[in-house]
Homo-oligomer: A and B are copies of this chain.
Amino acid sequence: MKIVIDAMGADKAPGVEVEGAIQAIQEFGYDLILVGDQAKVEAELAKHNFKSDKLSVVHASEVIEMHDPAAISVRRKRDSSSVVGMDLLKKGKADAFVSAGNTGAVVCAATLSLRLLPGIERPGIAIRIPVLTGTSMIMDVGANIDPKPMHMLQYGIMADAYCKYILNKEKPTIGLLNVGEEESKGTEFIKDSHTLLSESKLNFIGNVEGRDIYSGKADVILCDGFVGNVILKVSESVIDTLMLLLKREIKSNFIATLGAVLASPAFNELKKKMDYSEYGGAPLLGVDGRCVICHGSSSAKAIKNAVKFAGESIKQDVNKHIVEELESY
C-alpha cells in the first residue's frame, strides 16, 4: 500500500507535508512518496533528521500556484508536483494521491490522468461534516462550480454509495440545498436537479435549507461547488469569530475568566469535534482512482490525517460500489 503526497500544495508547503508524512509513517507505517522540489523537501526532512525506507522523494521541478488557472496550468506545467504525482498513481506506482494544492488543478489533473468512472461526467468533492446527529456529507464543495442538473444526480448516486458502504448508513437521506423547502423555490438549475433526483431511486427528501445542514436533517446535502465552498468557509469563519468574540468578552470580566478556565475541557472537546484537521481530507469522487483533497491551509496534523484517510480509502474501495450503483441505473 503506497500513498503519494503532493509536497508543494499547502500554503506552508513543503514543511507541513513533510512533517505530516513523517507522522503518518510513524503512526500508521504506510509507504509514502513525496513529490516536489527535491532540494526543498530534503531540507525539510533534514530538519527532522528523519530517514526511513518507507519514504521516497520524487523530484518535480514545477509548482501549480493557487492563482494559476486550473486547466491551462495542468497542460503547461507537466513537471509540476500535482501532475507528476497523479501520473505515479496512473502508472500504478501508488494506490492513492493526497494534495493540498490548487483544487481546480488537482481535479483537472485527476480527470485527465485517471479518467472518469463510466457514467460520470464530472468529479465532485464529498466532505464529511460533524452534525448534531453524527456525521453528514456535503457534495460538491468546490470541484465543479457551475454544474448541470445531471451532475447533481451523479453526485447523489456517488454520495449515496459512500454513505452506504463507507459510513454504514442503511438508507441515506439525500437533500438538495435550496433557499426554501418548497418545490417552487430556487433557480431553474435547482428545479431541474430536484426533478431528476425525485425520479431517481435515491432516498431523496427534497429541498433542505442552510439552517438544516448542521442539524443533520439529511445524510447527504447536494449543492454546486461554489455554494459548497462558501458553506465550508463561512462555517469556519463563524466558529473562529465566535471564539474570538467570546475570548474578548471573557477577558473583560474577572469572574468570567475564572469560569472559562473551569469550563475549558468542554471547550477543548468541542474544538476537537469541529476541527477540520481531525478529518484530514475529502475524497474526490468520480475519478478512476483514489484522490484526497486537503485544505490549502492544512497543518501537518491535517496532512497526517489525510494520509490516514487515504489508507482507509484503499482498503474500502468505494469506487467498486459506485460503479455497481451506477450500473443499476
User: Which residues of A are at the interface with B, using a C-beta cutoff of 8 A?
Assistant: 66-69, 104, 131-132, 142, 145-146, 177, 179-180, 182, 184-188, 209-215, 225-227, 229-242, 244-246, 249-250, 252-253, 255-256, 258-267, 269-270, 273-274
Enumerate chain B residues within 8 angstroms of A235, measured Cβ to Cβ.
234, 238
Enumerate chain B residues within 8 angstroms of A273, measured Cβ to Cβ.
245
Select from chain B the residue with minimum beta-carbon distance to A233.
Answer: B210
Interchain CB contact under 8 A, A265 and B256: yes
- Per the bound structure, the CA–CA distance linking A67 and B180 in Å amounts to 9
Interchain CB contact under 8 A, B231 and A234: yes
Select from chain B the residue with minimum beta-carbon distance to A252.
Answer: B266
Select from chain B the residue with minimum beta-carbon distance to A261.
Answer: B259
* The residue from B238, B239, B246 contacting A267, defined by CB atoms under 8 A apart: B246
Enumerate chain B residues within 8 angstroms of A231, measured Cβ to Cβ.
210, 230, 234
Interchain CB contact under 8 A, B253 and A266: yes
Interchain CB contact under 8 A, B241 and A229: no
- Per the bound structure, the CA–CA distance linking A267 and B253 in Å amounts to 11
- Per the bound structure, the CA–CA distance linking A241 and B197 in Å amounts to 28
What are 26 sample pairs from A and B whose C-beta atoms fall under 8 A apart? A145-B186, A146-B188, A179-B225, A186-B226, A187-B226, A210-B232, A211-B236, A214-B238, A214-B240, A227-B230, A234-B234, A234-B235, A238-B238, A238-B239, A242-B270, A242-B274, A249-B267, A250-B266, A253-B265, A256-B266, A258-B262, A259-B259, A259-B261, A259-B266, A260-B263, A263-B263
Enumerate chain B residues within 8 angstroms of A261, measured Cβ to Cβ.
259
Interchain CB contact under 8 A, B262 and A230: no
* The residue from B68, B131, B265 contacting A241, defined by CB atoms under 8 A apart: B131
Interchain CB contact under 8 A, B180 and A66: yes
Select from chain B the residue with minimum beta-carbon distance to A274.
Answer: B242
**Nearest chain B CB to A115 CB, angstrom units:** 25
Select from chain B the residue with minimum beta-carbon distance to A246.
Answer: B270
Interchain CB contact under 8 A, A237 and B266: no
